[in-house]
A and B are shown apart, each in its own frame.
Chain A
């Protein structure tokens, strides 16, 4: 009976048939690879917060621009004339969505592998949306300026807003989503 196989087997009697003998080299190679791999590759990611001064996408809508919105008075046409065509129209629930992205930070990344690597930066966006819902007479029923979490999909964000009525206030004092 090969001595090494006997020591590896779980059988108490080395004369018995063993069915769990493992190659000697495979364990050593596995252990060596596990030690080497972390040394061969490394990745660094560093988020750096910044002021929201850069527009990444869309056209921002400020609080002052929302002053013309009056529930039960302002019409859909008024909204289009003042703010332009919305980015998204959810037809069956009469919702307009205006979207824009501001930069809230910069992500610095660097990756190295053996003797080469790369690095760069990318903007971290903050997704804003102005959501306006109209009634059957195409008059503003409610509106809100919100921030969509990075982890939430756009459609879930819209569905959530439609399902949960919010106070009709242009200033959004409850600060929902911000």
Chain B
């Protein structure tokens, strides 16, 4: 029943002997909230390719592109370590970075991809200022995204000053399938031994960085070094524009 004289968005209905209004505003707000949430999820889960702002910062020398490759094999079969979005599957490799502000304690890191093809091949990058960092790598594991990154193996990464392009090595990770989930999907467990051997694919890294940063100058290679519990954590004060 629509009552004369009321706002067009409101109606009075009779129920249980009482009159109450039924505003359409809550349903509109719900729809709007759902739309915002969906847009946020899409934004969060789209491929994190280098943005123009990041490229500018790197070209200006404010940040260094620190390139890393994860070579992932599951039961001796190659496996993409990084997903394109959350809708394509759970992450099996998680990366964390710790630096000056965290005194080396790694936090789950936002890392990017230079292109879709390079992502599939396991190449990823961080945009960092010069300094000492500790890279934590967790996986391959089915629940890599929710495990404690602080417990993961770590590597020390030195980002020198006046460097725009840096390659820190290729890290092979191995895993195995250990059953299946109730509703499908494989349970993946890490099969890494403690003897991680960082490979040097200098030429491959160079060709990739030159393609995306033709004016980025010479690429430096500084393989990351394994850090073990009990080794000192080394920190250096971050300097503004220290990437120049």
Contacts and interface: CB of A to CB of B under 8 A. Distances in A.
Interface in B6-25: 6-7, 10, 12, 18-22
Given A16-B5, A17-B6, A19-B7, A88 B20 contact: no
A68 interface: no
Interface residues of B, number: 25
A165 interface: no
B126 interface: no
Given A89-B233, A89-B235, A2 B19 contact: yes
Contacts of A3: 19
A1 B19 CA distance: 9
Nearest to A3: B19
A161 interface: no
Interface size grouping (class) on chain A: 20 to 34
A17 B20 contact: no
Q: Which of B21, B22, B231, B234 has the most CB of A within 10 A?
A: B21
A90 B230 CA distance: 16
B20 A23 contact: yes
B104 interface: yes
A40 interface: no
Contacts of B18: 4, 24
A158 B139 CA distance: 33
A120 to B, nearest CB: 19
A18 B7 CA distance: 7
A25 interface: yes
A154 B20 contact: no
Given A19-B10, A21-B21, A23-B21, A91 B234 contact: yes
Contacts of A87: 232-233
Most buried by A among B3, B132, B230, B235: B235
Contacts of A21: 10, 12, 20-21
Contacts of B231: 85
B199 interface: no
Given A4-B19, A4-B20, A5-B12, A86 B100 contact: no
B104 A88 contact: yes
Interface in B175-213: none
Contacts of B19: 2-5
Contact of B102 (A92, A93, A155): A155
Interface string A25-39: 100000000000000
Contacts of B132: 91
A16 B6 CA distance: 8
Interface in A70-112: 85-93
A4 B102 CA distance: 60
A15 interface: yes
Contact of A91 (B102, B104, B235): B235
B6 A158 contact: no
Given A4-B18, A19-B10, A89-B232, 5 more contacts: A4-B19, A5-B21, A21-B10, A90-B237, A158-B103
15 contacts: A2-B3, A4-B20, A16-B5, A17-B7, A23-B20, A23-B21, A89-B234, A89-B235, A90-B236, A91-B132, A92-B237, A154-B103, A155-B100, A155-B101, A155-B103
